[in-house]
Chains A and B, each alone.
Chain A
């Protein structure tokens, strides 16, 4: 920088220094975080309404403040607020023995009465919770004594404990925070039983959660967690460099606020580490089998399309190895999903052969295939806010072109894509499975739901058989039978190629190098901050 330009920069710097000098106070707030005690994580969205019985709040934040009766772990269901439980022989009554030394953040005692009030608060807003099948099965919640509570179902439902372990809605808030005797009209405070208390919230700026000094599971070592709203990736990167934030993780839509390259750069600086979870979900392309006027209706077309996707390159080039190629709807670490099916990989020759056998002919190379004068053209919808989906769509469009498949790619808002999925107005669209704790039961239950994958599955030859098996798998109490039903279900949808897997998504964490105890839960929606500590 020479001469006048240098002079200008120096003048500008000097004026900023003078301005800074004139402003007094607040130095502590703008200084870098004390990485010895505090985690400040960047989030693209505000924590929103923390009512645990609603769905607009941030799940990682709700997971710190509220707890469920049981916890879903790698080794199965484990106690949390319930120390133990018994299930009746007919599978309809669940008796829970509650932990005795638990209080809500406002000092209220956690007991059977609080459980009953919370369960009833959830059930009184049933229409909002119908996605969670358990809400349609609970008929009663009885207090047996101060620390024993009984849940009565209308019929046996095997995922009961799994669904009770979810981040919402079956978690507990102090009944003192109820409004009009429940939570559906809102709550007056956010007092849970969790390891952290919400102590400050400035909408669209930050939320502070402080360690619950009376936590039944032992006081967390990290005393303060701040969720800082930082919508732009560049700012997050600079804030990480400066130390204003020191923790970043994949959000519940599988998006990172930092790209892989920026994360690697921070790791190379020696101050940060990246930790990735096991596969948590599968990124898929959903094919609308019930759209009879579209080529996607044909199994051979769907199968050929499956073969036209080069997952290895997508994994390496687009995800830089952070996501692994997926060949089945669920990864093998998902319960009941370790099923033997034919592996369909990237094979353009096989795809061509399948199309030719199905009557999709081609004139000259590079042309679109046709059948009875109809072109092999389909529309693939992607989320316009996801940079990786757009790149994947363009890449898939390009390989499809090489075998005579014409893909028109359309970017839309996520709500519009959800709308297409429920109305059936699509050929192909990007989606993802519900994730570890919810899979396979929630994703599979959605196969029959009109607002989810009904149009995806309705057009296949064995649709009725599939729906019958899904209905059966949710109520059977026989473990072996359940296994065989899941196997059948997964084989049917694999054979019909209606859910086309791309890659397995993982949760990535970028954290200070001296932060230890970083682990994951059986869900991408929350992180066990209470187990972390600085060394």
Chain B
């Protein structure tokens, strides 16, 4: 198992390098002169040639492309992603707290998604075709298809303005988490519970279920077996939910004024804060690769036959 994990980790290194190169190259294909972007974003009202030259040297723009890329990769390995063009602060000091804030939101949302998906998935599978199944699927279809900004606005209006139970936005207390987590959960749980439901239904038709019934095993025990087998299939999908949510909180964060990765990335993209955009893409890519590895490891642990595939 140890060698499998090591192999998977080693294989991901070239992938990270390719992603880092593409990110770096794409951003440098932009027709804008980074020095000018820096000066504009610092609000300097008049940009002189002297100031431009000074800034270019400071940013290392006078060096060849490959040298700049290698320097960047080496410093990224030491968690130094450079300085923000706008604030001048180290990228990590801005990305770190944002990652933490989005991470908390993702953690609570993933927990809620997993719990709700399992509960609704199991209930719907057991009651397949009955009114409960139809109702849950209908409502979830309706909620999932609602744009999240609309859903968020509705929830804020109802729970914050009308009932005065929760804050409209911000990240001040535990209460601040409830609505954003609810919006993310509603948007994703509707997708994931279907996967569990389908998986449960297909397991119900397996021979081992028929055999168990023939042996006279109690229904509860059979259901637990089905659930365990169904979850195995769903684990990798649920694992990937974490980086997906991590990278897709833009709308929710914007509406709820949540100072996380989504807000930071939009702000950086709009102001062409290249060092932050580069670091953001890299961090997300690494998160996707890592969670992919984790889901593979879990699957392999559950089904050792898969190890031979590598």
Contact = CB atoms under 8 A, between A and B. Distances in A.
Interface of A: 4-5, 8, 13, 16-17, 19-20, 23, 25-26, 29-30, 32, 48-49, 54-56, 127-128, 130-132, 186, 202-206, 228-232, 234-235, 238-239, 241-242, 244, 385, 413-416, 418-419, 422, 446, 449, 451-452
Nearest to B38: A415
B254 interface: yes
B97 A17 contact: no
A452 B46 contact: yes
A25 B255 contact: no
B42 A56 contact: yes
Contact of A23 (B158, B161, B174): B174
A206 B87 contact: no
A238 B160 contact: yes
A235 B169 contact: yes
Contact of A128 (B51, B175, B259): B51
A413 B44 contact: no
Contact of B47 (A32, A56, A451): A451
Interface stretch (B19-27, B149-157, B210-218, B276-284): B149-157
Contact of B87 (A49, A242, A413, A418): A49
Interface of B: 32-33, 36-37, 40-48, 50-51, 54, 86-88, 94, 97-98, 135, 139, 149, 153, 156-161, 163-176, 178, 182, 254-257, 259, 263-264, 270-272
B32 A419 contact: yes
A16 B259 contact: no
A205 B170 contact: yes
Smallest CB-CB A-B distances: 6 pairs: A26-B173, A131-B46, A55-B43, A131-B45, A204-B259, A23-B174
Nearest to B269: A413
Nearest to A32: B164
Select the residue from B37, B153, B259 with max chain A CB neighbours within 10 A. Answer: B259
Given A127-B54, A131-B44, A206 B32 contact: no
A231 B255 CA distance: 7
Nearest to A54: B42
Contacts of A55: 42-45
B54 to A, nearest CB: 6
A20 B263 contact: no
A205 B167 contact: no
A132 B178 CA distance: 49
Nearest to A234: B153
Given A56-B43, A242-B164, A419-B33, A205 B171 contact: yes
14 contacts: A5-B139, A29-B167, A30-B167, A54-B42, A56-B42, A56-B87, A128-B44, A232-B257, A235-B153, A235-B168, A415-B32, A415-B36, A418-B36, A446-B46
Contacts of B167: 29-30, 244
A237 to B, nearest CB: 9
B32 A8 contact: no
Contact of A238 (B48, B168, B182): B168
Given A8-B139, A238-B156, A413-B270, A20 B175 contact: yes
B181 to A, nearest CB: 10
B175 A48 contact: no
A4 B175 CA distance: 27
A244 B168 CA distance: 8
A230 B87 contact: no
B256 A235 contact: yes
A30 B172 contact: yes
Given A29-B173, A229-B259, A415 B37 contact: yes
Given A231-B254, A419-B33, A451-B48, A30 B176 contact: yes
B122 to A, nearest CB: 18
A239 B169 contact: yes
A451 B36 CA distance: 10
Contact of B157 (A8, A49, A238, A451): A238
A234 B153 CA distance: 7
Select the residue from A4, A16, A414, A418 with max chain B CB neighbours within 10 A. Answer: A16
Contacts of A451: 46-48
